[in-house]
Amino acid sequence: MKAMLLKEFGKPLELSDVQIPKLKSNQVLIRVKAAGVCHTDVYVRNGTIYKRTPASPPNLPFIPGHEIAGTVEDFGDEVTGFVKGDKVVVNPWQGEGNCYYCRIGEEQYCDFPTWLGITTNGGFAEYVISNYNYLYKVNKLPIEEAAPLACAGVTAYRAAKIAQLTPSNYVMIIGAGGGLGSFGIQIVKALYGSFIIAVDINEEGLKLASKLGADYTIDGKSMNISQDIMKITEGRGVNAIIDFVGSETTINNYYRLLAKLGKYIKVGTFGGGLPQEAGIRLHSMGWQFIGTLTGNRKDFLEIIKLAENGRIRPWITKLPLEQANDTIDNLEFNRAIGRQVLIP
């Protein structure tokens, strides 16, 4: 089968011919029809994710890609509930099932995780295998739109749930024109109907944010962001900040814009630390700073239902598998709008 192989950290992926993976009794062989490209893939390619998260580095060569959708091709003897040809999306955040976090239903925080496309072979290929307990049927969705639900969609959904907003609240979404941000805008509107202030450094990203329902858009390069936010919120600040960039720069630049009792939700695999001043003001302002990696299996089912009901829709650009390096470069250098999806 064709696959984009990572042979050395820090080097481009290489298009290669490799063996179709062999099944275990609890696994499903999936013919990959679409694979979303995530900013995490930047850190997989350069290897930094393995220095800053619990993820164990894979043996090289290795196939990245963790936003995967396709059709069931074959399955092991233990597998139930699937037939050949089923359209499925893969939950890549797979737990071993026995640790404390798996037992409470938060397997994305498993002590001994298997993360497809990060710790084991993923979806930048024609075929991939997965534990059947982490597959979800998506027969009502276009397959290329289902793939980004596996990370961007469920991650943005979990962040929005944590925010616990109301229709009268103001929420600031940082990185609003990217894959997660484009989901975040739609999800916040669908769940809460809150006022959304979209921030992005890319003009095209801001145009997309407005199209998806943002009430206000602000150029992240502007020197007047604080004044603009205070004018919009009548001097109070925002009730929540959902930071889909999560860098030291964004945290330092924006946390002061929180209203009293505000929540700063930092999303992703890793990013910048909490400024000392924020810790000092934590009590007097009643602020909450919350980190979130991604969603659990319950969140996965809920985001799929939102998509199937037409309340959200992934904003995607389709490209051939061979352009995997270009798509990762686009993310690394802030050129991507919405979600890029590779088609093998």
Q: What is the pLDDT of residues 241-281, one digit of tens each?
A: 999 998 888 888 899 999 999 999 999 876 667 777 777 77
| pTM for the model | 0.95
Look at residues 45, 35, 42 and name the one whose alpha carbon lies nearest to residue 7: 45
The Cα 289–Cα 268 span in angstroms is 14
The Cα 331–Cα 237 span in angstroms is 30
Look at residues 115, 14, 112, 103 and name the one whose alpha carbon lies nearest to residue 65: 115
Q: For residue 246, what pLDDT is reported?
A: 84
Long-range contacts, stretch 220-223, CB < 8 angstroms, 24+ apart: 220/174
User: For the chain, which ranges sit under pLDDT 70?
Assistant: 270-272
Domains of the chain (ranges plus CATH)?
Answer: 2-151+295-343 (3.90.180.10), 155-292 (3.40.50.720)
Q: For residue 272, what pLDDT is reported?
A: 65
Q: For residue 275, what pLDDT is reported?
A: 74
Tokens of 185: 């805008």
Long-range contacts, stretch 246-253, CB < 8 angstroms, 24+ apart: 246/270, 246/271, 246/272, 247/271, 247/272, 248/272, 248/273, 250/174, 250/175, 251/275, 251/278, 253/225
131-145 per-position pLDDT tens digit = 999 999 998 999 999
The Cα 276–Cα 71 span in angstroms is 49
Q: How many CA atoms lie within 13 A of 7 on its CB side?
A: 8
**Placement of tokens 């393995």 in the chain:** 50
Q: For residue 16, what pLDDT is reported?
A: 98
